[in-house]
Amino acid sequence: MTDRRQLGLSGTEISLKPDEIIVTKTDLSGKITYGNRTFFKFAGYTEKECLGVQHNIVRHPDMPRVVFKAAWDTIQDGREIFAYVNNRSKNGDNYWVLAHMTPSRDANGKIVGYHSNRRAPDMKIVNETIIPLYNHYLQIERAAASPKDGLASAYADLQKMLAEKKQTFNEFTLSLGG
């Protein structure tokens, strides 16, 4: 097992207060164009360090890639998505959020970027459902011969689980509550 410190992780989990909302906007390629004060507070970066940088600057290494594939596929198709996300601060702390991601459109309806609001999740849902599920997808992704194969296998497994539940990704996420 890799030493958590080598991954830049402090082992400290921080939490949003129920009234805190993280807001970011990105361009079409996922580069940050706006972040509110709460984003910079939790991310631990300055606005200057973030603007024009890929949003994955706060990606936690224990987040399965398949969740981001589902998110990108959905918002690039013009639809909103809800997902539980574990983020990493600059200092290695982590924080869980329930993210709502939507496409941003111009006056003609053309997608020009993406907008995300993130709130404090119900940690009982995170601990009892999301973490075991995400660990399952991480195992699939990491067991494959290549990252591409791992993502494809995890995506197939996710689609199978959703088909069995007769739910979309959003329906599944929202059915958990929180």
How do the domains of the chain map onto residue ranges?
A: 10-175
Q: Can you give the pTM of this predicted structure?
A: 0.92
CATH topology of domain 10-175: Beta-Lactamase (3.30.450)
Asked whether residue 36 carries a pLDDT value surpassing 60, the answer given is yes
Tallying the residues shown for the chain, one arrives at 178
Greater confidence, 148 or 1? 148
| Section 96-103 average pLDDT | 97
Pairwise CA distance, residues 63 & 135, whole Å: 8
Pairwise CA distance, residues 175 & 173, whole Å: 6
User: Do 148 and 65 meet the contact criterion of CB atoms below 8 Å apart?
Assistant: no
The average confidence (pLDDT) of the chain is 94
Q: At what angle do helices 147-165 and 65-76 cross, to 10 degrees?
A: 70
